[in-house]
A = this chain, B = another copy of it.
Amino acid sequence: MVGGGPGAGIAETHRTAMRLDDKFEIVSGVFSRDAEKSLFAAKKLGISRDRVYPDFVTMSEAESGRKDDRLDAVVIVTPTASHYEIARKFLQAGINVICDKPLCLKLAEARELKALVEKEALVFCLTHNYSGYAMVRHAARMVRRGDLGKVKVVQAEHASGWASRLLEKAGHPQAAWRTDPEVLGDASVLYDLGTHAHQLSRFVTGLEVTEVAAEMNQIVEGRAIKDNANLLLRFSNGARGTLWASMAAVGNEHGLRIRVYGDRGSLAWHHEDPHHLRYCPIDGAPQILAQGADWLSADAQRWTRVGLGHPEGFFEAFANLYTDVADALLAKADRKTYAKSDLSFPDVTDGARGVAFVESAMRSYAKGGGWTQVEAV
């Protein structure tokens, strides 16, 4: 693991997700740039001192050189800006990567990572964890098997209320870097939240976003960046839609939701109630599909640990990706290769598309709105 020292919330989520299905063990890492903090974290995790490294370069070299007990994959949970160079280094060393989202901050870098992954036939998981929910998987399967007919309209939102106050001026570290104009700038809300909604709409529909028209504004006055974005979308099959990303939608919880309308049916999912899916066929009454029901797809059943009426949440969705990755790593170890199923963990290509999407949206906004092509990856 690279990153994840004291105070790093997302690393703890990764570690909990790993433990849940008991398929991973952390054996090595750089947990902080501060050696003392890194050792402290390592000790808490029960990691042997000789596999704690001063920096990721040393780690990648030492670990790739080991004869036995080699790393199956490195987990990167540092802030976004460093993902590129860390991931590159490990990929070059032939080590599989599990990386927190978003992938990186430049399309060119994303393409480079993608090329490395492909060249080395490595496993690369980008933890857009919402793609791991059983009912998101089921939604994706329903679209693919034609339950909705042809997809026509997609309405995606990740409008969170988490930064509805000027937290960055009240000592909130995450708010500080996420609203720093020098770090992510106005694109922050799209990188942090917009890419989740983008990935969710791609994952559920199996379509690509080909063009965007973007508008941004500011909800919390005094903030150094825009904190709200509304986008129009055009999809690869001609469908249309909107995407709303916000960090300051007052009163919203996490605010991630998607509605997909085809010409034969529609479905709706929202993260506040992740174990249900509303499905409306054109010729019958709306239905509430619940995780664990007998008649769900194998994709949903695979990720239902207990059963109907036993809610699974954020950690379980995260764990689902990790277990998907474990399956891929085992397959690769066995056969020297692996074939990802059509509904599995998001990978480097998904990550690159997310970066291309944000770049296009920012170009549209910079030029005063209007349709802007999303570059291919």
Interface, chain A (partner B; CB < 8 A): 9, 12-13, 16, 19-22, 148, 150, 152-153, 155, 160-162, 164-165, 213, 215-221, 228, 230, 232, 234, 238-242, 244, 246, 248-256, 261-266, 271-275, 279-282, 284-290, 292-293, 295, 305-306, 308-316, 368-371
Contact = CB atoms under 8 A, between A and B. Distances in A.
Contacts of A288: 285-288
Contacts of A216: 240
Q: Which of A148, A164, A281, A290 neighbours the largest number of chain B CB atoms within 10 Å of its CB?
A: A164
A308 to B, nearest CB: 5
Given A165-B282, A230-B240, A371-B369, A309 B254 contact: yes
Contacts of A314: 306, 310-312
Given A153-B246, A217-B240, A228-B240, A266 B252 contact: yes
A290 B275 CA distance: 16
Contacts of A315: 20, 305-306, 312, 315-316
Nearest to A280: B251
> Which 6 A-B residue pairs are closest in the complex by CB-CB distance?
A251-B280, A254-B309, A253-B309, A311-B313, A285-B287, A313-B313
Given A306-B13, A315-B312, A251 B281 contact: yes
A282 B164 contact: yes
B232 A369 contact: yes
Contact of A152 (B162, B228, B312): B228
Q: Is the interface of A mostly helix, strand, loop or mixed?
A: loop
27 contacts: A19-B20, A148-B250, A153-B219, A160-B309, A213-B370, A216-B240, A246-B261, A248-B263, A250-B261, A250-B262, A250-B282, A251-B281, A251-B282, A251-B286, A252-B266, A254-B308, A255-B309, A256-B309, A272-B290, A272-B309, A272-B311, A284-B295, A285-B295, A287-B288, A306-B314, A368-B370, A370-B370
A129 to B, nearest CB: 10
A96 to B, nearest CB: 23
Nearest to A215: B232
Nearest to A293: B285
Given A272-B290, A273-B311, 10 more contacts: A20-B20, A152-B218, A155-B244, A230-B241, A230-B242, A248-B263, A271-B311, A275-B313, A306-B315, A315-B316
